[in-house]
Amino acid sequence: MNLLKYRWLNIGILFTVLIAAIVSWAVLGLNLGVDFTGGTNIRFPVNRAVTSTEVEEALSTPELQKLDLKLSSPQPYSYIDAEGNQKYGVLVHTRFLTAEEQKSVVGTLEKTFGSLTDGGAGLDIYGVDPLIGKELVSNTIIAVIISCFLILVYVAFRFEFKSGVAGVIALIHDVLFVIGVFALLRKEISATFVAAILTIIGYSINDTIVIFDRIRENLQFRKKDESFESVVNLSILKTMRRSLNTSITTVLAILALYFVGGPAIKEFCLALIIGVTAGSYSSIFVASPLWVVWRNWEEKKRLKGKVAAAGTK
């Protein structure tokens, strides 16, 4: 099977995905969470399923209206706890609140949906000052850039510069694909999303390095008439089963967490599921073919130079 026969198709899919992700990001924007915009998130447990309208009406008291909460649409959620019981709650997002203002909001919710039990189990209040949120945005961008640069240096040192660039392009594909999907689905971008992105980068480049390592091993024993393209194709085929098995088992484990875990980790799990899937595709069908295309282009350029030099003699 010659997988590299379809390399231009796969590279075309890569750039189509990149363009689509950038367009969705630019047009729809990102649903930035409290970690980046600043504000307060209150996860309030309730004993039944509620609607956003019910919560908005409950928080429309004169006392809270004076506080100008800048309330976003509340998000009801449900999950199954460790004991198998169905639990309900609602996520309330407001501007950054002081401790007293938080007590006022929680007290109002208790009056409508019932007092908290078990010492307030299930209640989670998380606030971020807007200035800290802006700093986190810049730090996140710097962290992703530094990680990609260090990966480029490592792969270039271990293999060659062309393979390092190919690996980083595949990583950019994975990251932008996840961001594009989250933009389309209007999923919240939070600090856990950043952790998921960094995890995806590490997972994807590890998968790519396994293939690159096999390519390097096979290059040492290739025949004189065997092309670099043939060696790469053989290396991909020999490592594909390992890559797919690893990715499938990883995704299955994350799916279990997504459906059984609490609401706080759902976006994290969703990002990992999308990223691991995209990373497997890019490692097998993008990184190595890009390396082949670059090597072939350089080889043709070198041969043309030799022919031109011979013609001038």
Residue 273 has pLDDT above 90, yes or no: yes
From the list 247, 282, 280, the residue with the least C-alpha distance to 170 is 282
What's the chain's average pLDDT?
82
Residue 22 CB coordination number (10 Å) = 14
Q: Which of the listed ranges 14-28, 119-133, 151-165, 269-283 does the model predict with the highest average pLDDT?
A: 269-283
- For the entire predicted model, the pTM comes to 0.77
pLDDT of residue 222: 77
Q: Three-state secondary structure along 63-79?
A: HHHHHCCCCCCCEEEEE
| Ordered strands of the 124-128 beta sheet | 75-80, 86-94, 39-46, 124-128
From CA 8, how far away is CA 10, in angstroms rounded?
5
Query: How confident is the model over 119-124, as a mean pLDDT?
Result: 70
Residue 61 has pLDDT above 80, yes or no: yes
Residue the block writes with tokens 């990001």:
25
Cα–Cα distance list, 276 to 92, 154, 244 (Å): 31, 21, 10
Give the tens place of pLDDT for each residue, 14-56.
888 888 888 888 888 888 777 777 788 888 888 888 888 888 8
Per-residue confidence band for 4, with pLDDT thresholds at 50, 70 and 90: confident
Give the tens place of pLDDT for each residue, 189-222.
888 888 888 888 888 888 888 888 888 888 887 7
Inter-residue contact 40 to 102 (CB < 8 Å)? yes
The DSSP 8-state label assigned to residue 312 in this structure reads T
Domains in the chain: ranges and CATH? 3-33+132-311 (1.20.1640.10), 39-128 (3.30.70.3220)
Query: How confident is the model over 146-169, as a mean pLDDT?
Result: 85
Low-confidence winner among 82-91, 92-101, 205-214 (lowest mean pLDDT): 82-91
Low-confidence winner among 8-12, 32-36, 308-312 (lowest mean pLDDT): 308-312
Residue 173 has pLDDT above 90, yes or no: no
Q: Which helix (H) or strand (E) holds 155?
A: helix 130-158
Residue 313 has pLDDT above 70, yes or no: no
Residue 119 has pLDDT above 60, yes or no: no
